[in-house]
Amino acid sequence: MQLKDRVSRRLKLHELRVLMAVAETGSMRKAAMVLNTTQPSVSRAIAELEGILGLPLFERGARGVEPTLYGRALLDGSVEMFDDLRQTVQKIEFLANPEVGD
């Protein structure tokens, strides 16, 4: 199965949010605290993403984690996607408001 097929069938928004939290905090443990979940669930989400892509998303070290080139590319796309989704939801809210429009 090609990468685009694996991604379109298996990728979840939750996993991308976890990816963003890990990158922002630099730590699986800190990301778990921010997301109000456990460190093993954060690690599982990152492992799932890495399994889908077949590529490492973070360099792991004693001082935390840093995104790899692949992780940075996925992060950039995730930020854009969440921004687009936020704008779409705002548009829907505007369209659903009976007090605006023609």
The per-residue pLDDT for 10 is 82
Instruction: Name the average pLDDT for the chain.
Output: 92
Please report which confidence band the pLDDT of residue 70 belongs to, taking 50, 70 and 90 as the band edges: very high
- Asked if the model's pLDDT at residue 57 lies above 70, the reply is yes
The per-residue pLDDT for 55 is 95
Q: Which long-range contacts does 68-76 make (Cβ < 8 Å, 24+ apart)?
A: 71/19, 71/23, 74/16, 74/19, 74/49, 75/19, 75/20, 75/23
pTM of the model: 0.84
- Asked if the model's pLDDT at residue 43 lies above 90, the reply is yes
Q: How far is CA 102 from the centre of its chain?
A: 38
